[in-house]
Amino acid sequence: MGVQRTFSIIKPDATIRNLTGAVNAIFEKAGLRIVAQKRILMTQAQAETFYAVHSERPFFGELVEFMTSAPVVVQVLEGENAVLAHREVMGATNPSEAADGTVRKEFALSIGENSVHGSDSEENAALEMAQFFSGNEIVG
Ligand code: CMP
């Protein structure tokens, strides 16, 4: 597979509990390098665009409200097979199904307030990181 980049968000439930460093420590221990990172307050338009694929889901309004409720940390992570490696270390979307040692098992509060987002494919990673970073903000 080789070295890849993926897009990550540390969500409001984690930033407000001051868990940014703890989440990053888990990522780094899993071999993922943070090659871009910034803390932002997402606008409603940014959140609606980012999660447009979920716009017909019953939880869409709640999801947008949550993601704009407090700062998030948007990131680009780089490493061997990074998309899959990141998804593995995040754990299952629903924290009650997440494996021990994963971010969501350790920190997530619920399926909605699940501490982190990660891209599900290399193609989506490229689209997602382009929404928040210009090329020269990513330094590997
Ligand atoms: P994420 O990986 O950011 O992608 C979509 C998000 O929708 C997901 O993580 C969850 O936080 C959220 N989500 C998925 N299912 C539900 C649900 N049933 N209720 C509330 N939020 C959900």
pLDDT digits (tens, 9 = 90+) for 113-131: 999 999 999 999 999 999 9
pLDDT digits (tens, 9 = 90+) for 33-60: 999 999 999 999 999 999 999 999 999 9
pLDDT at 95: 97
Q: Does 111 contact ligand 1 (Cβ within 6 A)?
A: yes
Closest CA to 8 of 69, 71, 90, 106: 90
CA distance 32 to 92: 18
Pocket test residue of 46, 51, 63 for ligand 1, highest count of atoms within 8 A of CB: 63
Q: Does 68 contact ligand 1 (Cβ within 6 A)?
A: no
pLDDT at 16: 98
Average pLDDT for the chain: 98
pLDDT at 34: 98
pLDDT at residue 1 tops 80: no
